[in-house]
Amino acid sequence: MDVFKINGQQRLQGTIKVSGAKNSAVALIPASILANSPVTIEGLPEISDVGTLKELLEELGGEARFDAGTMYIDPTNMQDMPLPNGNVKKLRASYYLMGAMLGRFKKAVIGLPGGCFLGPRPIDQHIKGFEALGAKVTNEHGAIYLRADELRGAKIYLDVVSVGATINIMLAAVKAKGQTTIENAAKEPEIIDVATLLNNMGARIKGAGTNVIRIDGVEELHGTNHTIIPDRIEAGTFMIMAAVAGDGITIDNVIPFHVEALTAKLREMGVKVEEGEESIFIPKSENLQAVDVKTLVYPGFPTDLQQPFSVLMSQATGSSVITDTIYSARFKHIDELKRMNASARVEGRTAIISGPTKLESASVYASDLRAGAALVLAGLIAEGETEIRDIYHIERGYSSIIDKLRGLGADIRRETLEDAKPIFKEKF
């Protein structure tokens, strides 16, 4: 069992480069299943979610090679193998195999997805979409069975604005007969990225990035080359790190427009954010002031940044409040931060954090991906050596994190501990 050890209170300086977006990568890779010739995706992050999806494509009989951020995928010999267990349980985004396989084979058997536990994460809107397109969908012993004689375009109104359902319905609809309309669609940049790949494969999708997406079905999709967008959540994590532990940090390979909600909150706290075309510079921050944050669907403040942001709140003067309107139980990191001397409490969907507090090192557990990111930030500013367990969560989403942080002067290393048993079990 590997852990991260961080010797805190080193001031960080320099340039850190953001990798390709995890939440695009995990949809772009399954989208390749729909092509009748090879697809190449460039700029992919080297994270375990990408490795797991590569293995899943291979389980389907596809050929996939991954080298230096570029994945070559030949989907021509893939078959509709059932995937009820195993790798599908390791990540949330295995649900995209449902839409992609339904679109290509008109049938699929996919185990219910894994990923971070943040409260209930139903997939009823995905299923509603597949059924509207003509699929019969059943849940048998924890696996979803999908089958359609023919997929026909339909008008689908999402009851909940869902990133996953929006992309999954796009994947299933691109080869359906006729027009599909997704109303109340999610608008995240990753949805535009997936639509761009699909359109370059020959699909006809309009409106991605707005709340109404129209898809005119086509007979065939072909291979293409695609370069992924930068990861706005990784960029945001580094911006927060720069505000809390930096002596001047440039975040490179970021689209400043994608992180505007965070930039606005940082400025409200007193952080200076200097935007370039594809970079952001944050000088040393002083006299941070408490703020309140409410997570919302894009372009609102992302739920995926509220956990790292809570560390910054612990260093601000006054009482800050975070309300997570997307997930009901995304506060497991708060107990771990309290072990490090943070002054915080959780009330329902809200965390109240008072500061500024001097954080102290402790042995802590990453209960999920962004909880892990929050603990890394806390370890960077804490006095003494912090040990973070269950780091496999962090490695689902942060590419080369040790090397990147060391490049700024952080004292962080990975160590193997024989006795470290994970306490937050993966949801297999």
Ligand X SMILES: C=C(OP(=O)(O)O)C(=O)O
Ligand Y SMILES: CC(=O)N[C@H]1[C@@H](OP(=O)(O)OP(=O)(O)OC[C@H]2O[C@@H](n3ccc(=O)[nH]c3=O)[C@H](O)[C@@H]2O)O[C@H](CO)[C@@H](O)[C@@H]1O
Give the H/E segment covering residue 351.
strand 350-355
* Segment interacting with ligand X, rule: CB under 6 A, options 88-96, 167-175, 203-211, 352-360: 88-96
Instruction: Report the partner that residue 397 touches, choosing among ligand Y, ligand X, none (CB closer than 5 to 8 A by kind).
Output: ligand X
Annotated binding site for phosphoenolpyruvate: 22-23
Compute the distance between CA of residue 74 and CA of residue 145 in angstroms, rounded to an integer: 25
CA dihedral 170, 173, 174, 180 (to 10 degrees): -90
- Least CB distance from residue 386 to ligand Y, whole Å? 25
Instruction: Please give the radius of gyration of the chain, using alpha carbons only, rounded to the nearest integer.
Output: 21
Compute the distance between CA of residue 392 and CA of residue 114 in angstroms, rounded to an integer: 13
Q: Angle formed by the axes of helices 163-173 and 96-105, to 10°?
A: 10
Angle in degrees, CA 361, 387, 114, rounded to 5: 125
Q: Give yes or no for residue 97 binding ligand X (CB under 6 A).
A: no
AA letter at 265 = K
Q: Give yes or no for residue 370 binding ligand X (CB under 6 A).
A: yes
Catalytic residue numbers? Answer: 116
- Least CB distance from residue 79 to ligand Y, whole Å? 25
Neighbours of 159 (CB within 10 A): 10
Instruction: Report the partner that residue 274 touches, choosing among ligand Y, ligand X, none (CB closer than 5 to 8 A by kind).
Output: none
DSSP string computed for 370-382? HHHHHHHHHHHHS
- Least CB distance from residue 108 to ligand Y, whole Å? 17
* Subset of residues 57 to 96 that bind ligand Y, contact rule: CB under 6 A: 92-93
AA letter at 208 = A
* Subset of residues 89 to 108 that bind ligand Y, contact rule: CB under 6 A: 92-93
* Segment interacting with ligand Y, rule: CB under 6 A, options 2-10, 118-126, 149-157, 380-388: 118-126
* Subset of residues 324 to 343 that bind ligand Y, contact rule: CB under 6 A: 326-327
Cα–chain-centroid distance for residue 26?
A: 9
98 vs 201, beta carbon nearer ligand X: 98
Q: Give yes or no for residue 326 binding ligand X (CB under 6 A).
A: no
Q: Give yes or no for residue 246 binding ligand X (CB under 6 A).
A: no
Q: Give yes or no for residue 99 binding ligand X (CB under 6 A).
A: no
- Tokens 């295995």 sit at which residue? 94
Q: Give yes or no for residue 185 binding ligand X (CB under 6 A).
A: no
Instruction: Report the partner that residue 124 touches, choosing among ligand X, ligand Y, none (CB closer than 5 to 8 A by kind).
Output: ligand Y
Q: Give yes or no for residue 304 binding ligand X (CB under 6 A).
A: yes
The per-residue b/e assignment along 357-374, b for 16 or more CB within 10 angstroms, e otherwise, is bebebbbbbbbbbbbbbb
Contact residues for 192 (Cβ-Cβ < 8 A; gap 6+): 208, 209, 229
Compute the distance between CA of residue 343 and CA of residue 16 in angstroms, rounded to an integer: 30
Instruction: Report the partner that residue 191 touches, choosing among ligand Y, ligand X, none (CB closer than 5 to 8 A by kind).
Output: none
Annotated binding site: 22-23, 92, 121-125, 304, 326
Instruction: Report the partner that residue 125 touches, choosing among ligand Y, ligand X, none (CB closer than 5 to 8 A by kind).
Output: ligand Y
Compute the distance between CA of residue 401 and CA of residue 314 in angstroms, rounded to an integer: 23
Q: Pick the binder of ligand Y from 52, 87, 94, 125 (CB under 6 A).
A: 125
Q: Give yes or no for residue 121 binding ligand Y (CB under 6 A).
A: yes
Q: Give yes or no for residue 20 binding ligand X (CB under 6 A).
A: no
- Positions touching ligand X (CB under 6 A) are 22, 91-93, 115-116, 304, 369-370, 397
